[in-house]
Chains A and B, each alone.
Chain A
Amino acid sequence: MTARAPPAPRHSRAGIVSKLTIGPGPASPRTRRFGIVSKLTIAVFGVLAAVRTGRADGPAASPGSLRDEDILGRATPTFRVDSVTTRLTSFNQYGSGYQAQGGPTPSSPGNERATILEPQVEIDASQGPRLSHRFWVPVDVVTNASADAIDVMTSASRHVESGAIDWAAKYKVDADSDVTVRSGIHLENPFRSWTAGLAWSRALADGDTVVSASTLEVFDWFDRFDIHGGRHGRTDRTTTTVSAGVTQILTPTTIANVNYGITMQRGEMGNTWNSVPLEGNVRGPELLPSERLRHALVLRAAQFLPWNGALHVYYRLYADDWGTVAHSAEAELLQRVSPALTLGALYRIHRQSGVDFFTTLADPSAPLRTSDSDLAPFDSQTFGGKVVVDAPMRGEIRALHLELGYERYFRTNDLHIDVFTCATGYRF
């Protein structure tokens, strides 16, 4: 997305003049004088052109040693915006869950209806030949959440806004390796979150193999409520993720990636206002462990198809020490219909076992309990499609990217989400 197209070839004046004066003329004194003048003119323009070229592009490359800047133009040390992308997504969620209050009885599931509008902006910029930046600003506007609930978020969650700023700076150490530093902050009504990360990657075997490693630290700081709406100060949670991966070119049309990561969490693991139906037709607070260790193994592969298409497959195996084991598999088919138009179709299936202490009716003396439907055993599926237009442009904007997509997510424990998304991108 940030690759720069080669600029228009630069025609030196010397070259043009040379072409105009190719071939011997009649040998008259006048023409001989003209010939001398023209030769001087050629020489002067030649020197000027050489100086100008030298200032712009540096020394001319020797034959057989073409450099990147000879094709792409010299990277300037000044800040340069390479692309701007915006995306607007709406999530319309319908369903019910036992963690929410507001059902007909205390032991009944509550309404999980929610509408979320999520605008995002991403700016890619470069600063010289080695340093590039990515700025990402997502905003969430949640409306109509838990409108029938009587829990603490009854009024607050009817309209909640949150935003984040994320900055990643990538430094190209040499031709084969780079280091990325990431930092961010997330702001929400009763919630603050800080993110810091470091990533490294290195290409091996002439670019056939890329090994990578990353670490990410997240610190969450948020209000603690009880299930009746009482506020009890603040609490926090830390999340540390370490991951490593290998990307390998398998054939001229196949590329694959394997990634393994481990996440360690400590602190308050719930949102603090989730409730659990208890025996005796009453509700009590959710009780969760204070630590969680998560493992994830991800396999990705992309296969180019002879009819100008591509097939992407994805598999993820997840396990944690709360007893959840999950398998997610996904396939996406992309088909280029014309040079500018691409169609895509997607299917995903997810199966999770749920945590060991999930219940819809808990013993009041149980040390751990949750009724969160997101932690229950269930299967989910996603169907989706998209239309993508990538049109080359002239002028300052070199390419325009447009995308429209729709997805439907539904799962076996009474929840489904309709997702509409559209994106525009400008590459400079």
Chain B
Amino acid sequence: MTARAFAACMVAALLVGCATVPQNRRGHLADPMMTLSEEPLDSARRQKMYDTREGAAGGDGANAGGGCGCQ
């Protein structure tokens, strides 16, 4: 049930995206605060802490380490 609700939310979110936002209305999206990816060095140090201390690394482009999460 949870998986279906999650999938429905995903589809709804993607359908909303079908409405094109003109370039002259994207001013707020160009604000540096709105960047989806973090500043790379900040992201790297946070990713490293979670990858090495939690057994759930990998799958999203980061180095996955071994069974213990060690790099």
Hey, which bits of chain A sit against chain B, CB under 8 A? 1, 85-87, 89, 91, 99, 118, 120, 122, 134, 136, 138, 186, 193, 195, 205-209, 214, 216, 218, 220, 237, 239, 241, 243, 246-253, 255-263, 265, 268-271, 274, 286, 288-289, 292, 294-296, 298-302, 304, 309-310, 312, 316, 318, 320, 322, 324, 326, 328, 334, 336, 342, 350, 352, 354-355, 370, 372, 374-376, 380, 390, 403, 405, 407, 409, 411, 415, 417, 419, 421, 423
Q: List 8 A-B residue pairs with CB atoms under 8 Å apart, sorted by A's residue number.
A: A136-B40, A193-B63, A239-B63, A257-B36, A261-B59, A304-B33, A372-B67, A423-B42
Q: How many residues of B contact A (CB 8 A)?
A: 50
Do B17 and A302 have beta carbons less than 8 Å apart? no
Partner pick for B21 among A216, A252, A316, CB 8 A cutoff:
A252
- Mark interface residues in B48-71 (1 if CB within 8 Å of A CB, else 0): 111011111111111111111111
Footprint of A on B, CB under 8 Å? 10, 13-14, 16-17, 20-23, 25-29, 31-36, 39-42, 44-46, 48-50, 52-71
Contact (Cβ within 8 A) B60 A122: no
Q: Are A252 and B25 in contact (CB under 8 A)?
A: yes
Q: Which residue of B lies closest to A257 (CB)?
A: B36
Q: Which residues of the other chain, A, contact B21 by a CB distance below 8 angstroms?
A: 208, 249-252
Are B55 and A352 touching (Cβ within 8 A)?
yes
Residue of A nearest to B55 (CB): A375
Complex partner residue of A417 from B28, B49, B55, CB under 8 angstroms: B49
Q: State how many angstroms separate the Cβ of A367 from the closest Cβ of chain B.
A: 15
**Across-interface contacts of B17 in A (CB, < 8 A):** 208-209, 248-250, 256
The majority secondary structure among interface residues of chain A is strand
Expressed in whole angstroms, the Cα–Cα distance for A342 and B33 within the complex equals 9
Q: Which residues of A contact B71 (CB under 8 A)?
A: 186, 193
Q: Which residue of the partner chain A has the closest CB to B6? A: A317
Residue with the highest number of chain A CB atoms closer than 10 Å, among B16, B65, B66: B66
Residues of B within 8 A of A309 (CB): 33
The listed residue (B32, B45, B53, B56) touching A120 by CB distance below 8 A is: B45
Are A256 and B63 also in contact (CB < 8 A) when A87-B45, A324-B56 are? no
A207-B23, A375-B67 given; A310·B34 CB < 8 A: yes
CB-CB under 8 A from A324, the residues of chain B are 55-56
- Find B58's partner among A86, A138, A294, A419 (CB 8 Å cutoff): A294
**Nearest chain B CB to A301 CB, angstrom units:** 8
* CA gap between A258 and B6 in the complex, in Å: 13
Contact B64 A269 (CB under 8 A): no
Q: Nearest CB to that of A168 among chain B residues?
A: B40
